[in-house]
Amino acid sequence: MTLYRATVLDTPSDPFEDGPEALRAEHDGGLLVRDGVIAARGRFADVAAAHPGEEVVDLREGILLPGMVDTHVHFPQVRAIGGLGMPLLDWLDRCALPEETRLVNRTYAEEVAGEFVDGLVRAGTTTALVFGSHFPEAVDALFAEAERVGLRITSGLVVSDRILPEPLLTTPEAALAHGRALLETWHGRGRLRYAVTPRFSLSSSEPMLDACAELLAARDDVWFTSHLNENTAEIEEVARLFPGAGHYLDSYDRHGLVTPRSVLAHNVHPTGHELEVLARAGAAVAHCPTSNCALGSGLFPFAEHLTAGVRVALGSDVGAGTGFSLLKEGLQAYFVQRLLGPRGVALGPAALLHLATRSGALALGLGDDVGDLSVGKQFDAVWVRPQPGSTLDVVLRHPADATDALAKIFTLGTPGDVAVVWVAGRAVSSAPQPVPPSLPLEAA
Ligand code: GUN
Ligand code: ZN
């Protein structure tokens, strides 16, 4: 067993119900980890006294958070990050889709899979719902790399049968056959799971969505993900292509694709009825703030989602999003709500941490396993230890309290400040460095 000694911040309860009190702070805490699971938790002195002789890892020179959960990120778009200045459909044509066609080559796909998984780890993301590739071999390469590194990844073959460049298209029959083969190989293997993934209904015919429904119905633990209500031009085109659908969400819902196992990305421009349907179904929305800003998609109506009772988590949406860090996504979510003035939701530090961790775990049906650092949960954790002398390092030495420390981490933290990442108790980045004892969270 290993006893981690740290200041621990997490949000096991919901800040949208409990307010700032939802932030749980353990100053000089102890987390005892056995076989990757948190076996005991409390003040370090108490846990150490109850479990003498255990190996102690001293993490007091930083702050320990739960591993981040990214509910929307595109594997084949790592090298497309940074395509600024275009709305969604132009960006797809000029940046994303040309890059995605290159993944037809297995060697290229393996290289990108390495870069992608590494990007997640460096950002402190331990669990992700990943938009895969249109090519089965590339999806296979992603699962293999995620398995090698040990991340919790839910992903699948992206399918489309219209509008996109020809090399990215398939048929409903081939989509079903390839999806089934990938599902049988990878779903339930270690920490990997399968997600049925039509790119968006704009690029998916009714027979293709039927094929998706057939694959989804084959198992009760397979996930569903796609895009929804991201951009006004996209929404108009979907309305034209699905004249029988009441709204964008209905293009999925009438095929049985909106369930508690569905995560729909963006939803920047929902109707009231769509929010009702999402809430009733128990489906979740992946809010992708840097992407929404970079593409000019719009300002996310968070309050409307909360009022309707729709579950919301965070997604980086790499490569329209501007990087893998959910700290940056949290800060951008905060900015957007500020800009909405009285219509915005005040996202305090506890809400940001919940969005980046427990909300995501719940959206992915993994709330019993990950998302916070309670006893019985997997030890999926991130040690934020700022680069010595960096502004984050300086300001974290003088926080007013735990909420203030967390605000500083969301404001200034980058992947460069993520020192160690654990999944199920195993470090998936460099080992902790010996550090001098000090308590950075003690009030100044
Ligand atoms: N809608 C369909 N495909 C995509 C994509 O790759 N990125 C984003 N942001 N929206 C999409
Ligand atoms: Zn996306």
Residue 43 to residue 190: CA distance in whole angstroms: 32
Where is the domain boundary, 315, 339, 363?
339
For residue range 150-172, list pLDDT tens digits in order.
999 999 999 999 999 999 999 99
**200 and 273, same domain (yes or no):** yes
Residue 31 to residue 39: CA distance in whole angstroms: 8
Residue 238 to residue 230: CA distance in whole angstroms: 11
The confidence band for 441, taking pLDDT boundaries of 50, 70 and 90, is: very low
262 within some domain = yes
The confidence band for 433, taking pLDDT boundaries of 50, 70 and 90, is: very low
* CA of 163, nearest ligand number: 1
For residue range 181-212, list pLDDT tens digits in order.
999 999 999 999 999 999 999 999 999 999 99
320 lines ligand 1 (CB under 6 A): yes
The confidence band for 285, taking pLDDT boundaries of 50, 70 and 90, is: very high
According to DSSP, residue 428 is labeled: S
For residue range 127-143, list pLDDT tens digits in order.
999 999 999 999 999 99
Residue 442 has pLDDT above 70, yes or no: no
349 within some domain = no
**198 and 235, same domain (yes or no):** yes
Structure tokens of 41?
Answer: 């938790």
For residue range 28-41, list pLDDT tens digits in order.
999 999 999 999 99
Structure tokens of 12?
Answer: 């096991």
**100 and 248, same domain (yes or no):** yes
* CA of 268, nearest ligand number: 1
199 lines ligand 1 (CB under 6 A): yes
Residue 182 to residue 60: CA distance in whole angstroms: 43
**100 and 197, same domain (yes or no):** yes
Q: Are strands 284-287 and 311-314 parallel, antiparallel or unpaired?
A: parallel
189 within some domain = yes
Where is the domain boundary, 339, 361, 388?
339
B/e letters for 323-351, b = 16+ CB within 10 Å, e = fewer, are bbbbbbbbbbbbbbbeeeeeebbebbbbb
- The alpha carbon of 339 and the centre of ligand 2 are apart by a number of angstroms equal to 23
60 lines ligand 1 (CB under 6 A): no
Q: Are strands 55-66 and 223-228 parallel, antiparallel or unpaired?
A: unpaired
Residue 341 to residue 63: CA distance in whole angstroms: 32
**94 and 38, same domain (yes or no):** no
**212 and 335, same domain (yes or no):** yes
Q: Which pLDDT value is given to residue 18? A: 85
Residue 231 three-state SS: coil
Domain that holds residue 316: 68-339
Compute and round to an integer the Cα radius of gyration of the chain: 21
- 8 Å CB contact between 1 and 412: no
Q: Which atom of ligand 1 is nearest to the CA of 77?
A: 6
213 lines ligand 1 (CB under 6 A): no
**326 and 376, same domain (yes or no):** no
**221 and 209, same domain (yes or no):** yes
Point out which residues pair with 198 in neighbouring strands.
159
367 within some domain = no
The confidence band for 19, taking pLDDT boundaries of 50, 70 and 90, is: confident
Residue 432 has pLDDT above 90, yes or no: no
User: How many structural domains are present in the chain?
Assistant: 2
Q: Which pLDDT value is given to residue 431? A: 39
For residue range 377-388, list pLDDT tens digits in order.
999 999 999 999
**232 and 117, same domain (yes or no):** yes
365 within some domain = no
Residue 157 to residue 199: CA distance in whole angstroms: 9
Residue 437 has pLDDT above 70, yes or no: no
74 lines ligand 1 (CB under 6 A): yes
**126 and 211, same domain (yes or no):** yes
Please state, for a pLDDT cut of 90, what percent of the chain lies above it: 95
358 within some domain = no
Mean pLDDT for the chain?
95
Point out which residues pair with 224 in neighbouring strands.
196, 262
CATH number at residue 382: 2.30.40.10
CA nearest 340: which of 308, 313, 301?
301
CATH number at residue 269: 3.20.20.140
For residue range 314-357, list pLDDT tens digits in order.
999 999 999 999 999 999 999 999 999 999 999 999 999 999 99
State the DSSP H helix or E strand holding residue 442, giving kind and residue range, or none if neither. none
123 within some domain = yes
| Burial (CB count within 10 angstroms: exposed 0-12, middle 13-18, buried 19+), residue 186 | buried
* CA of 100, nearest ligand number: 1
**187 and 247, same domain (yes or no):** yes
For residue range 205-264, list pLDDT tens digits in order.
999 999 999 999 999 999 999 999 999 999 999 999 999 999 999 999 999 999 999 999
Residue 395 has pLDDT above 50, yes or no: yes
The confidence band for 401, taking pLDDT boundaries of 50, 70 and 90, is: very high
- 8 Å CB contact between 69 and 19: no
387 within some domain = yes
**78 and 62, same domain (yes or no):** no
Residue 311 three-state SS: strand
Please state, for a pLDDT cut of 70, what percent of the chain lies above it: 96
Where is the domain boundary, 339, 358, 388?
339
| Sequence-ordered alpha helix ranges (H) in 124-198 | 136-149, 172-186
State the DSSP H helix or E strand holding residue 250, giving kind and residue range, or none if neither. helix 248-253
Range 387-397 average pLDDT: 95
